[in-house]
């Protein structure tokens, strides 16, 4: 990995951003989007729908942006000079965040019955939109169809992310985090570059090992940690490929996703891509064993006896195979250790035995953390000339932990002696 790799700063210097806010609970995050655009050097003006004002006040966004907030198409003072057209011409980009299911449907059909939809039709600058809705609404065929149609109309759809929602549901539909949205905006407006980005390859989710055409061996991995790492790697400037087992998660913006089922399929893709990568993170919960011979037809229950004997054979060790690549092909290798006891002992053993650069170990027996949850806690282990060092990462959202992990991996490539960042 390049020794000067570091987190890029999203630059919007001199860019004029029109931010549309619609009526979703995620509107409270719009304040942070305004702050991040300003911090990146951009100007921002805000347009709110009537419903959005029930979730966050125009005064809040006015104070943060330093500009008057527009809320009405029929504002005589503003429209005296065709204000909505002037706003559309002023913008270098239009960003709508959050975008409700209702607003997306109206945009798809070209309605112009309020200021925001009118601006969306009049604006010829790049247009980006961040959906935010209940997971059942997002899964509905109409919502998915509308989001696809927006893409065909030239909108860049950011997210949505998956996780716990305000209503208590868990699933895809939550608005992407403000940092990811502003990063996507900055990339969209960045001048073209011929400098290739370093590549990251990340495995995520479980594998399924077939026993017969209808049964398989698997585990409880949801893939959330791996998907958080993939989204964070994109934000860190990596050209990111995600090798994913079967999960119910949306692909993070900017990530190339390869879907696999079995450990053998994941092994094949990992060894194909790892030699081209600067960073490899093995976050998938790969099954250690598979059936020696998967049955061609469904296994039937037999009348004699109460047991069934299966012959299993060991799957290839993906992370060890990547770590064993020749120096010219070997990326910086990060492994995960999901344990239920003696976490430190097993993690340090894995670090040495598999020749890894960094091990992220977590206790999956802890309630509310690890498999299926939105939060995680972990310990990071790495080697130095003085011995093995560690860092205790307390319970935090998986996106925050993902950034800590990738930050730490980058710091170790800059400082191979292993001083903690």
CA–CA separation, 46 and 58 (whole Å): 9
Q: Give the burial string for 366-400 (b: 16+ CB within 10 Å, else e).
A: eeebbbebbbbbbbbbbbeeeeeeebebeebbbbb
Q: In this predicted structure, what is the pLDDT of residue 2? A: 37
Residue 114 is encoded by which pair of tokens?
A: 């309020």
Active site residue 167: yes
Furthest CA-CA distance within the chain:
88
Domains 16-189 and 199-289+311-414 belong to one CATH topology = yes
Burial (CB < 10 A; 0-12, 13-18, 19+), residue 343, is buried
Choice among 6, 54, 136, 167 that is catalytic: 167
Q: In this predicted structure, what is the pLDDT of residue 231? A: 87
What order do you get walking across the sheet with 127-131 strand by strand?
Answer: 43-48, 16-21, 93-99, 127-131, 155-157
pTM of the model: 0.60
Q: pLDDT per position in the chain (421 positions), as tens? A: 333 334 444 579 899 999 999 999 999 999 999 999 999 899 999 999 999 999 999 999 999 999 999 988 776 655 444 467 888 899 999 999 999 999 999 999 999 989 999 999 999 999 999 999 988 898 888 888 888 888 888 888 887 877 677 777 767 788 988 988 998 899 888 877 666 789 999 999 999 998 988 888 988 888 999 999 998 898 888 999 999 999 988 888 788 999 999 999 999 999 999 998 999 999 999 999 998 888 888 888 876 677 888 889 999 999 999 999 998 899 999 999 877 778 888 899 999 999 999 999 987 666 655 565 667 888 899 988 888 888 887 778 888 888 889 989 988 875 555 544 3
Residue boundaries of the structural domains of the chain: 16-189, 199-289+311-414
Q: In this predicted structure, what is the pLDDT of residue 421? A: 39
* CA triple 165-171-174, angle to 5 deg: 50
Q: In this predicted structure, what is the pLDDT of residue 208? A: 93
The class of domain 16-189 in CATH terms is: alpha beta
Q: Which residues contribute to the annotated binding site for CTP?
A: 282-284, 288, 298, 316-319, 336, 350, 354
Q: Judging by DSSP bridges, how do beta strands 312-314 and 289-291 pair with one another?
A: antiparallel
Q: Give the burial string for 78-91 (b: 16+ CB within 10 Å, else e).
A: beeeebbeebbeeb
CA–CA separation, 22 and 50 (whole Å): 8
CA–CA separation, 148 and 129 (whole Å): 12
Q: Which residues contribute to the annotated binding site?
A: 282-284, 288, 298, 316-319, 336, 350, 354
CA–CA separation, 169 and 129 (whole Å): 23
At the topology level of CATH, where does 199-289+311-414 sit? Rossmann fold (3.40.50)
3-state SS of the chain is CCCCCCCCCCCCCCCEEEEEECCCHHHHHHHHHHHHHHHCCCEEEEEECCHHHHCCCHHHHHHHHCCCCECCCCCHHHHCCCHHHHHHHHCCEEEEEEECHHHHHHHHCCCCCCHHHHHHHHCCCCEEEEECCCHHHHHCHHHHHHHHHHHHCCEEECCCEEEECCCCCEEEEECCCHHHHHHHHHHHHCCCCCCCCCEEEEEECECCEECCCCCEECCCCCCHHHHHHHHHHHHCCCEEEEEECCCCCCCCCCCEEEECCCHHHHHHHHHHHHHHCCEEEECCECCCEEECCCCCCCCCCCCCCCCCCCCEEECCCHHHHHHCCCCCCCCEEEEEEEECCCHHHHHHHHHHHCCCCEEEEEECCCCCCCCCCCEEEEEEEEEECCEEEEEEEEEEEHHHHHHHHHHHHHHHHHCCCCCCC
CA–CA separation, 21 and 130 (whole Å): 10
């Amino acid at each position: 990995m390049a020794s000067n790799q570091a987190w890029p700063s999203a630059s919007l210097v001199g860019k004029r951003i029109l931010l549309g806010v619609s009526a979703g609970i995620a509107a409270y995050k719009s304040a942070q989007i305004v702050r991040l655009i300003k911090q990146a050097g951009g100007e921002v003006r805000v347009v709110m729908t009537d419903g959005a004002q029930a979730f966050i006040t125009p005064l809040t966004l006015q104070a943060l942006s330093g500009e008057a907030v527009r809320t009405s198409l029929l504002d005589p003072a503003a429209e005296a000079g065709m204000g909505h057209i002037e706003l559309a011409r002023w913008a270098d980009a239009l960003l709508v965040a959050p975008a409700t299911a209702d607003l997306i449907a109206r945009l798809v059909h070209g309605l112009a019955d309020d200021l925001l939809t009118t601006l969306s039709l009049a604006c010829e600058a790049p247009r980006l939109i961040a959906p935010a809705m209940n997971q059942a609404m997002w899964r509905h065929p109409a919502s998915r169809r509308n989001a696809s149609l927006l893409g065909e109309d030239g909108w860049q759809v950011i997210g949505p992310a998956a996780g716990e929602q305000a209503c208590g549901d868990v699933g895809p539909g939550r608005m992407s985090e403000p940092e990811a949205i502003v990063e996507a905006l900055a990339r969209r407006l960045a001048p073209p570059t011929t400098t290739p980005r370093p590549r990251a390859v990340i495995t995520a989710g479980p594998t399924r090992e077939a026993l017969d055409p209808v049964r398989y061996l698997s585990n409880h991995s949801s893939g959330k940690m791996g998907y958080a790492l993939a989204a964070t790697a994109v934000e860190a400037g990596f050209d990111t490929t995600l090798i994913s087992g079967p999960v119910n998660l949306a692909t993070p913006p900017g990530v190339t996703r390869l879907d696999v089922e079995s450990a053998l399929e994941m092994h094949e893709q990992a060894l194909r891509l790892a030699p081209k990568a600067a960073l490899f993170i093995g976050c998938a919960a790969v099954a250690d064993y598979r059936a020696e011979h998967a049955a061609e037809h469904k296994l039937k229950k037999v009348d004699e006896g109460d047991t069934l004997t299966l012959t299993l054979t060991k799957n290839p060790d993906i992370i060890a195979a990547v770590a064993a690549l020749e120096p010219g092909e070997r990326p910086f290798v990060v492994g995960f250790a999901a344990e239920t006891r003696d976490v430190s002992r097993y993690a340090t053993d894995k670090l040495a035995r598999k020749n890894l650069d960094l091990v992220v170990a977590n206790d999956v027996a802890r309630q509310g953390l690890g498999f299926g949850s939105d939060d995680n806690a972990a310990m990071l282990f790495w080697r130095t000339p003085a011995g093995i060092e560690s860092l205790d990462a307390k319970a935090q959202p998986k996106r925050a932990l993902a950034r800590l992990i990738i930050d730490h991996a980058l710091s170790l490539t800059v400082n191979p002696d292993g001083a903690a960042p």
